Structure 1
Amino acid sequence: MKKVFVLLISVIIFIPFAGLAQDGGTSRVKWYSIEEAEKLNKQQPRKIMIDVYTDWCGWCKKMDKETFNHPVIAAYINEHYYPVKLNAESKEDIVFNGTTYKYVAQGARGYHELAAGLLNGQMSYPSVAYMNEKMELLGAVPGYMNAQSIEPLLNYIVEDKYTSESLEEYQKNFQSNIAAD
């Protein structure tokens, strides 16, 4: 009886943590480093989507868990983009497009030069920056976006609609692939 009680207590204690171990490292999106995306883009050009985040950003974690793990969003990103994760406070040098970007120590927290360049100095997290196939910055969108709000933006960029119409106009006729809740 004592062994059964110990086993039962062990199961009750460890079951809540089992889900954390499984969910913590899984992502439906195949993320690349910026260097990997640059190399892949030279072989087979695609748009590049850069998720600019920090380790302490709660909204960044929510966007990872809910938006980027949504099956429709993850499948679309994997098919049409080279998705990149960029920690805006990374202390490692990054070589991109022949330029070396470094960490800049500033106050309690510093920032990475590449993140600052992608976000035009507007350091807001999360932010998603977009580049065309020529690795030219198209722009960055600051703030949390759920699956329903990012889906038309992802399509708008892939379809090059930004060259001919506003996002607002595009959204009026956009047909979502996400089932209504």
Structure 2
Amino acid sequence: MKKLHYIIAFIAFGTLLSLQKSPTNDADKINWITIEEAVELQKEEPKKIIMDVYTNWCGPCKMLDKNTFQNADVVEYINEHYYAVKFNAEGNDEVTFNDKTFKNPNYDPAKANRRNSAHEFARYLQVRAYPTIVYFDEEANVIAPISGYMKPQQIELYLKLFNTDKYKEMDTQEKFNEYFKSFKPTFKE
């Protein structure tokens, strides 16, 4: 009978622990901001921008959030070297970029979590698939949009390629292929 009490107490204690909300640590999360905030911050402290262009209905976008943007190595690298922007490519936010205002005039609130009209800003950035990660230089010029889901070690290649400016040396596909083959990832999966 005494063993049963210990087992019940152990289960109850475990249940209480699992119900407690773990403290959130901002160092464990990417510091997402708007594109307008990122451009303003660049004026004081130049850094590149990484923009996660997603939609609410996109499965691979959710996987990117869960598996890649929660990875400690990815979080640390992005927070240190980039301004990070999240942008809903089918949302209804008004965006001001390069002195132009972008909207989604055909946005349908009834389709907020389904396929909706593409935002003018997503079209401007030439985003054609989700997720797409758009990289900008320190003056908010687009470097490249990279489409598709990426695991931490896959995104690491691009994060370091653009952050170190090695992309400027790659005027041919062959040079990128050489970089790709020689790249040694350090992020944990």
Q: Same fold (TM over 0.5)?
A: yes
Once the two structures are TM-superposed, the CA of residue 97 in structure 1 deviates from its matched residue by 1.9
Give the match for residue 53 of structure 1.
Answer: 54
- State how far apart, in whole Å, the 1-side matches of 2:177 and 2:90 are: 33
% identical equivalent positions: 37
Aligned-pair CA distance for 1:22: 6.4
1:149 aligned residue: 154
Give the CA RMSD over aligned residues: 2.8
- Counterpart for residue 89 of structure 1: 90
1:93/1:102 contact within 8 Å kept: yes
Shift of residue 129 of structure 1?
A: 0.5
Per-residue CA distance 1:48-94 (angstroms, 9 max, x = gap) = 11000011111111101111111111111111110100011121211
Q: Which residue of 1 aligns with 2:117?
A: 110
Greater gyration radius: 2
CA distance in 2, matches of 1:33, 1:83: 8
Give the equivalent residue in structure 1 for 2:111: none
Q: Distance in 1 between matches of 2:187 and 2:135?
A: 22
1:73 aligns with 2:80: no
Task: State the TM-score, normalizing by the size of structure 2.
Answer: 0.77
- Number of corresponding residues: 167
| Structure 1 residue 33 displacement after superposition | 0.8
1:88 counterpart letter in structure 2:
A
Name stretches of at least 5 consecutive residues in structure 1 with no aligned partner: none
- Among candidates 176, 180, 187, match of residue 171 of structure 1: 180
In the superposition, the TM-score normalised over structure 1's length comes to 0.80
**Distance across 2 between alignment mates of 1:103 and 1:82:** 24
**How far, CA to CA, are the matches of 2:22 and 2:55 in structure 1?**
22
Q: How many angstroms does 1:133 deviate by?
A: 0.8
Structure 2 residue ranges without an equivalent (≥5): 1-7, 109-114
Q: Pick closer, same or farther for the CA change 1:145–1:22 going to 2, 3 Å.
A: farther
Deviation string for 1:126-152 (max 9, x for gaps)? Answer: 110011111111111111011111101
Q: Provide the rounded CA distance (Å) in 2 between the counterparts of 1:153 and 1:121.
A: 17
